[in-house]
């Protein structure tokens, strides 16, 4: 598992940002457990709110929406991490899932679960804005 990528990239050898495959895997695993834990923890909290003290309907609805959005983000994050681990296993890690370009070492260091290069990431962000308009 160790050293399947990045280490071979010349010029990055002295950068402290470079991680081995095993380290990336462990980081992803830790992150996954954290997110999964948060998701589990949110479940019962949700139900307690329903049977608990009744608040004004509007604010309760608002709260639920925020909660759902938060949950959605956590689930999306979980998928992202799983995908990154899949790519790590099949040797596609470090490459953009969209265009196949190499993802920068700094970008991967900041978030080892990223699946898109900076260009494609920007494109999806633009799309997302368009969709919500
Ligand atoms: Zn790309």
Confidence (pLDDT) at 126 = 80
**Cβ(121)–Cβ(114) below 8 Å:** yes
**Cβ(81)–Cβ(113) below 8 Å:** yes
Confidence (pLDDT) at 70 = 93
Helix (H) or strand (E) holding 60: helix 57-89
Query: 81: buried, middle or exposed (CB in 10 Å: 19+, 13-18, 0-12)?
Result: buried
Residue 57: band (very low, low, confident or very high) from pLDDT cuts 50, 70, 90: low
User: pLDDT tens across 70-124, in order?
Assistant: 999 999 999 999 999 999 999 999 999 999 999 999 999 999 999 999 999 999 8
Distance (Å) from CA 127 to ligand 1 centroid: 14
Distance (Å) from CA 65 to ligand 1 centroid: 32
Distance (Å) from CA 87 to ligand 1 centroid: 15
Residue with more model confidence, 3 or 76: 76
Confidence (pLDDT) at 55 = 53
Confidence (pLDDT) at 129 = 60
Confidence (pLDDT) at 4 = 46
Distance (Å) from CA 74 to ligand 1 centroid: 23
User: pLDDT tens across 14-34, in order?
Assistant: 444 556 889 999 999 999 999
Distance (Å) from CA 13 to ligand 1 centroid: 24
Distance (Å) from CA 71 to ligand 1 centroid: 27
User: pLDDT tens across 59-68, in order?
Assistant: 888 999 999 9
Distance (Å) from CA 33 to ligand 1 centroid: 28
Distance (Å) from CA 120 to ligand 1 centroid: 4
């Amino acid at each position: 598992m160790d050293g399947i990528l990045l280490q071979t990239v010349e010029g990055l050898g002295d950068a402290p940002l470079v991680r081995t495959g095993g380290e990336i895997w462990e980081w992803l695993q830790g992150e996954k457990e954290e997110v999964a834990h948060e998701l589990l923890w949110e479940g019962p909290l949700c139900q307690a709110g329903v049977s608990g003290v009744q608040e004004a309907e509007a604010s309760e609805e608002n709260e639920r929406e925020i909660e759902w959005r938060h949950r959605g983000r956590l689930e999306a994050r979980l998928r992202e991490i799983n995908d990154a681990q899949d790519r790590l296993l099949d040797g596609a890690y470090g490459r953009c899932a969209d265009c196949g370009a190499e993802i920068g070492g700094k970008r991967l260091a900041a978030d080892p679960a990223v699946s898109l290069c900076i260009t494609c990431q920007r494109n999806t962000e633009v799309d997302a804005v368009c969709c919500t308009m």
